[in-house]
């Protein structure tokens, strides 16, 4: 990828990297903000807010954030692919993303429709989701310093 025309554009464009960075931050806000609130509700906070409507409203925002992250992350990665690919923090971030996505898929498979309150096992999964996605965001920031 480092030698592709996409990587050349991402690395040499005056606007590609800064724009991708802004979009990446917006994606983090949508993903962690959206799914984070749902996770907190599943854990037991905000009980006055019905779970199903909250999840229906915020989950699509989280998914949109994930899409933005994949697209903008591709530009950020391509701009310096060789260095980033060798970065241990970046590799940790990718592993955590895989775990967070597996957790989300398993959660969807186990719930097949949310009830008013989550079972204890689902609360653990919600806490794991919250911790994983926040840690992914922290790793993303730390890539520049490692």
Domain regions of the chain by residue span: 5-145
Residue positions counted in the chain: 146
Residue for token pair 């025309």: 5
| Model confidence band, residue 13 (pLDDT cutoffs 50, 70, 90) | confident
d(CA 108, CA 103): 9
| Model confidence band, residue 117 (pLDDT cutoffs 50, 70, 90) | low
């Amino acid at each position: 990828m480092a030698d592709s025309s996409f990587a050349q554009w991402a690395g040499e464009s005056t606007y590609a990297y800064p724009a991708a960075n802004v979009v990446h931050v917006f994606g983090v806000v949508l993903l962690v903000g959206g799914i984070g609130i749902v996770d907190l509700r599943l854990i037991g906070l905000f009980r006055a807010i019905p779970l199903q409507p909250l999840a229906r409203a915020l989950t699509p925002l989280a998914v949109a954030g994930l899409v933005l992250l994949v697209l903008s992350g591709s530009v950020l990665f391509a701009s310096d692919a060789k260095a980033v690919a060798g970065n241990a923090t970046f590799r940790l971030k990718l592993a955590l993303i895989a775990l967070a996505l597996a957790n989300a898929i398993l959660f969807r498979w186990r719930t097949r429709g949310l009830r008013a309150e989550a079972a204890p096992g689902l609360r653990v999964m919600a806490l794991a989701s919250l911790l994983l996605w926040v840690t992914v965001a922290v790793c993303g920031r730390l890539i520049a310093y490692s």
